[in-house]
Structure formats: structure tokens, C-alpha cells
Amino acid sequence: MKRLLMLFIPIFILLSGCQLIEESEYTCRIHFIDTGKSDCILIESDKNVLIDAGDNDHQYEVVDYINKLGIKKLDYVVNTHPDADHCGGMDKIVEYFDIGQVFVGNGNSDKKTYKKFIEALEDKKLNPSV
């Protein structure tokens, strides 16, 4: 899983427009949001990319963190896989933010947490790409 994540991060940094302007000035910030033992990464630039959203216990912390940055739209939302420690907060992310495009890895699971995420996407008429 970590190898897959390490592959996704550079790709989304490039897609989101992050680039080095000068040695001391960046056009983006990468946030590793503390969600305990779960995963959540936000890439903030001219495009905002969220990779995973932690577990259910930290879903409001993730929403609050992003709100405090003044972000209203997430251009890309990536759920790497349906385990609860990666998609637990996704339903609240979809509920609270304007979402551009959603990417879902391993897009099939009967887990309750993952189903809530997919239902939230359906409620907003968002279709994930696999």
C-alpha cells in the first residue's frame, strides 16, 4: 500500500501544478493530516487534492482542518482503497465540500464505511473514476 501511495503523491503533485519557483518559494503545500493510525494527505496548490480521509473517528477533524485553510473545493479526491482507515471520513468530505473529480482504487467492497462514501457520492451525483 505504501508503494502505491508513494506513486500517487508525485503524480498528483504534478497534476495539481506544484512546482519550485525559487529555492525558497513553493506554489503548493502538502499536509499530512493527523488522523491517528489512519491516512489523510492534502495537496494544496492551484488545484486541491485530497488522498484518503482517515477513519470515522477523525472525520470532523479532517473537515475542520480543510475549512481552516479556507478551502471550499477539492478538485481531486482519491480513495486509495476501501479500508475504513482510508475512507472513513470520505462521506463527510463529500458532504461538506464541492468536489471536482473522484478517483477510487479497488472500487468494490461491502464494508459499511465504504458504502456510506459511495452513497454520499451518489447523493451529490458524483461518479468516481476507477
Asked whether the predicted pLDDT for residue 72 surpasses 90, the reply is yes
How far apart are the C-alpha atoms of 31 and 44, rounded to whole Å?
Answer: 8
Greater pLDDT, 19 or 40: 40
The predicted structure's pLDDT at residue 93: 93
3-16 pLDDT, tens digit each = 555 556 655 555 55
77-114 pLDDT, tens digit each = 999 888 877 888 899 999 999 999 999 886 667 788 88
Q: Residue written as cell 468494490?
A: 108
Structure-block grid coordinates of residue 21? 519557483
Other CB atoms within a 10 A radius of the CB of residue 84 amount to 17
What's this model's pTM, rounded to 2 decimal places? 0.77
Q: Which residues, listed in sequence order, are joined to residue 104 by a DSSP beta bridge?
A: 79
